[in-house]
Structure 1
Amino acid sequence: MKKTSNKVVLIGAGAVGTSFLYAAINQGLASEYVLIDAFPQAAEGNAIDLSDAMSILPLPVTGIKAGDYQDCQDADLVVITAGRPQKPGETRLEMVAGNAVIMQEIAQQVKASGFSGITIIASNPVDVLTLIYQQVTGFAEARVIGSGTTLDSARLRRLVAEKLGVGAQAVDAYFVGEHGDSAVPVWSHAAIMGQPIAQYIKDGKITQAELDQISHDAVKMAYKIIELKRATFYGIGAALTKIARAILRDEKATLMVGAKLNNIYKNSDVYSGVPAIIGAQGIEQIIEWELTADEQMKMDASIATLKLSVAKAQDAIK
């Protein structure tokens, strides 16, 4: 009999994971949710707290509960946000060794459960840990997806929109490469309601220097938020929900996810933020933009940075 409802398992019931879950429940993405955490009481407490909202929210949910890795067996989607949080002033890549060990353990237990669905990962450094998870599980690359530069690109669009006095949804502007300090803005493919950003520069509405500052501010946004309130979670929670919705609703949405590169963008053997079509099968197509020489050079440098961290992560889990 064809399955008519969806089951989502969240691994990591901290602020990022529960922000995703709350957004997902509000949007009616699935009928069943299971929370898994290294601290079972945190999973149980959040499950009860979220369950209290079920009679108030407009969209029906069959159940929200704390569980274990066996609950992954029949899940459609596993979302992983587990790992230690980023400290003030710490880069995402500096978290790599400890979180690689945590991700290895998670990957082994998810695989042992018999899970055959799609995985979305947001644990940092996300590009590196998504690769570790995929390698440990052996799951199909298209069915293991990192959050990539989805959030970075959302920040970029917001800042461009504020500068030009337009709605953020009218802006097409994106980062490729690392979710982190080496992310690359692709201004050659940026537009506002179809008009290239280059035309706005030509018309004197914005300067390249202003765009460079916007890019810098977007990349550093997480540091600012962490300094102010110790963690970022609402933005990434919304980004994860957008990716999850594209999968569970088979939307064929174009998103800036973390995808495995195999001779794409002139790079291989690494996960990186790139534009891709996301649907029921996961990453259904990676869209390969033609980058400028400068953008490609910066993309190569970002990938090289990631590969250094991949080597550290692999050494940590030997």
Structure 2
Amino acid sequence: MSETNDSDELGLNPPPHDPRVDRRTTKLAVVGAGAVGSTMAYAALMRGAARTVALYDINAAKVEAEALDLGHGIQFMPMAEVIGSDDIAVCAGADVVVVTAGAKQKPGQSRIDLAEATISLVGKILPSLVEVAPDAVFVMVTNPVDIVTYAALKISGLPPHQLFGSGTVLDSSRLRYLVAQRCGVAVQNVHAYIAGEHGDSELPLWSSASIGGVPLLDWRGPGGASVLDEAARDEITHEVIDSAYRIIAGKGATNYAVALAGSRIIEAVLHDEKRVLPVSSLLEDYYGISDVCLSVPAIVGRNGVGERLEVPLSARELGGLMRSAETMRTISRRFGL
């Protein structure tokens, strides 16, 4: 005779409920509690991206204060835990590690000017981060992001799918915002990407852009007038490239939009969304481009960055992407990478 109660087999007497079974265990670690890092933690919390958000910074008073301030607002957000420390162990077991720590960009300074100091900093902290969170997906958000991402891959030894940069996710958002304003449509209906360097050599992929399924180059305004002729497109391109400099000149840092862009990447990873995002990753024979980190549309999910999509490119766009790649290679060689 079986000692098992028939009622148990039928599920009529289920075992006591263990609340840990339902607990979401997603953990986000944000490295750097400056303007970008603290705002990214805030954005991730507001969007309910992770169950635990850990802030790490070498400035103990600053990071603990940021975590406390964020924690005081949890009542008004999706439930989460916020912790902050100057001990790197606070990042242990993270599912996603976002690195925002780096040299601060000053008015008139290019992103490339920051490279040496930021690469040195990444070299000091990244090995310890990999040690405490070896299975995490690492997202570099510090500038110059393409060079820093390439250096971080060399320093960490992580596979290219596990570490990538935020790339031109923000730049593409700026592009869509400006196109939406010019065309009088919701920004959510604009589909367009900036590719290449997150910087002065980046380029919009006009030939594959669309608005509500209509190719962007065919878009017409009232009365059939063209609102996106070459002059208008050039103007938008320059504004996308120059916007960060304008914001830094006016308020000292960009933080809101980059934090929202970063939180979107975080969600794509934690929720395994398989979302197409123009992140900066190591390219291998992408239209003949290899051994350089650049932004192209790629599928982002729980394992990090996946397939890079070979979107249609015009001859001009392909040439621009190759020039951007060569610019990055030249800079990489300058730093011995």
1:172 to 170, 179, 191: 191
Q: How far does residue 72 in structure 1 lie from its aligned partner after superposition?
A: 3.0
Which range moves more in the overlay, 90-99 or 107-116?
A: 107-116
In structure 2, the CA distance between the partners of 1:245 and 1:69, relative to structure 1 (3 Å rule), is same
**C-alpha RMSD over aligned residues:** 1.7
Partner of 2:269: 247
Partner of 1:306: 328
- AA in 2 matched with 1:302: S
- Distance apart, 1:68 and its partner CA: 2.3
Instruction: Tell me how far apart the structure 2 counterparts of residues 67 and 4 of structure 1 sit (CA, whole Å).
Output: 25
Q: State the 4+ residue runs in structure 1 displaced beyond 3 angstroms.
A: 1-4
Give matches, 1:260-275, under 5 Å.
260-275=282-297
Check the 8 A contact 1:80/1:123 in 2, yes or no: yes
From 288, 308, 313, the counterpart of 1:286: 308
Q: CA deviation at 1:307?
A: 1.3
Residue 70 of structure 1: how far off its partner (Å): 2.3
Percent identity over the alignment is 35
TM-score by length of 2: 0.89
Which among 112, 115, 125 is matched to residue 134 of structure 2? 115
Mind listing any 5+ residue stretches in structure 1 that lack a counterpart? none
Tell me if the contact between 1:79 and 1:121 (Cα under 8 Å) persists in the aligned partners. Answer: yes
1:90 pairs, out of 109, 115, 118, with 109
Moved more, 60-69 or 41-50: 60-69
User: Corresponding residue for 1:30?
Assistant: 50
Aligned-partner Cα distance in 2 for 1:155–1:63: 30
Is the Cα contact below 8 Å between 2:59 and 2:86 reproduced in 1? no
- 2:317 is matched with which residue: 285, 289, 295? 295
TM value normalised by structure 1 = 0.94
Aligned residue in 1 for 2:59: 39
Give the aligned partner of residue 17 of structure 1. Answer: 37
Contact persistence 2:270–2:301 (CA under 8 A): yes
Quote the offset at 1:67 in angstroms: 4.9
Which deviates more, 65-74 or 130-139?
65-74
Q: Mean alpha-carbon deviation: is it higher for 84-93 or for 304-313?
A: 304-313
Distance 1:17 1:30 in 2: 15
* Offset from partner CA, 1:51-91 (integer Å, 9 cap, x none): 1111232x111343325222333111100000111110111
Quick one: which of 119, 122, 125 aligns to 1:100?
119
Specify the code of the residue in structure 2 equivalent to 1:169.
Q
- The 8 Å contact of residues 132 and 314 in structure 1, kept in 2 or not, is answered as no
> Match for residue 154 of structure 1?
173
Q: What is the identity, as a one-letter code, of the residue corresponding to 2:41?
A: L
Unpaired segments of 5 or more residues in structure 2?
A: 1-19
Report the Cα distance in structure 2 between the residues aligned to 1:151 and 1:194, rounded to whole angstroms.
Answer: 22
Name the aligned partner's letter for residue 58 of structure 2. Answer: A
Report the secondary structure of 1:267's partner residue: coil
CA–CA distance in structure 2, aligned partners of residues 289 and 302 of structure 1: 17
Greater shift in the superposed pair: 47-56 or 228-237: 47-56
**Corresponding residue for 1:140?**
159
SS in 2 for 1:220: helix
CA change 1:100–1:15 in 2 (3 A) is: same
Tell me the distance in 1 between the aligned counterparts of 2:257 and 2:127: 29
What SS is found at the alignment partner of 2:161?
A: helix
Greater RCO (Cα-Cα under 8 Å, separation 6 or more): 1
Judge conservation of contact 1:13–1:37 (CA < 8 Å) in 2. yes
What SS does the corresponding residue of 1:260 show, helix, strand or coil? strand
In structure 2, which of residues 59, 72, 75 is the aligned counterpart of residue 52 of structure 1?
72
CA deviation after TM superposition for structure 1 residue 114, in Å: 5.0
